[in-house]
């Protein structure tokens, strides 16, 4: 994931809760972006961090992961986000990382129905899960080479606030992706 040449320059900031990577999207406008790795608990005896991504408001010190800015540079932005993952594992080499889409939440779907123009049914929001699908399609496309360095798992649901995970199966529609760095014996 660090092989991209079209990434933006990043600034890393280690915090008490994890690590943040800041960069500027130079598309139609200059927009500050943040990739935030936030500690959310323990999972199978390992620290679990969530990958969050969005536009960053430096005055308010907060980020917004529910905005679609369409700034004209989607590949540069996406590749920059992916390029932070190896950097994250350099800091937290024994951690597990979870990736979920902010558009996969029940709240997103409820809010979307209020202003929906796509005539979605009550059971299915057509705008839901787009973000996790982008990450999932990348993993599917490069799974063979990625598994040389990372172990992947997928989650379809949670049960009583617990993730139900399985070894990653290519082309399966997961709601969450989990990965951890492979351990190599020297």
Per-run averaged pLDDT (10 residues), the chain, 186 residues:
84 96 95 95 92 90 81 92 95 94 72 74 73 88 94 81 86 93 78
CA distance 97 to 39: 9
**pLDDT given at position 47:** 96
CA distance 154 to 165: 5
Task: Tell me how crowded residue 39 is: count the other CB atoms within 10 A of its CB.
Answer: 16
DSSP three-state, residue 62 = strand
**pLDDT given at position 185:** 62
**pLDDT given at position 72:** 92
Domain ranges of the chain: 11-101+145-181
DSSP code of residue 101: -
CA dihedral of residues 160, 150, 137, 96 (deg, nearest 10): 30
């Amino acid at each position: 994931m660090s092989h991209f040449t079209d990434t933006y320059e990043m600034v890393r900031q280690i915090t008490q809760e994890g690590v943040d990577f800041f960069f500027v999207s130079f598309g139609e406008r200059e927009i500050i972006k943040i990739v935030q790795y936030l500690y959310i608990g323990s999972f199978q005896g390992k620290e679990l961090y969530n990958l969050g991504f969005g536009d960053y408001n430096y005055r308010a010190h907060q980020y917004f992961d529910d905005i679609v800015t369409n700034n004209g540079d989607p590949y540069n932005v996406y590749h920059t986000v992916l390029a932070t993952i190896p950097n994250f594992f350099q800091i937290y080499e024994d951690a597990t990382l979870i990736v979920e889409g902010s558009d996969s939440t029940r709240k997103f779907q409820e809010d979307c129905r209020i202003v929906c123009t796509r005539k979605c049914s009550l059971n299915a929001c057509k705008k839901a899960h787009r973000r996790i699908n982008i990450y999932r399609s990348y993993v599917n496309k490069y799974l063979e080479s990625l598994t040389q360095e990372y172990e992947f798992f997928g989650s379809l649901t949670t049960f009583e606030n617990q993730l139900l995970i399985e070894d990653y199966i290519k082309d399966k529609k997961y709601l969450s992706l989990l990965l951890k760095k492979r351990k190599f014996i020297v």
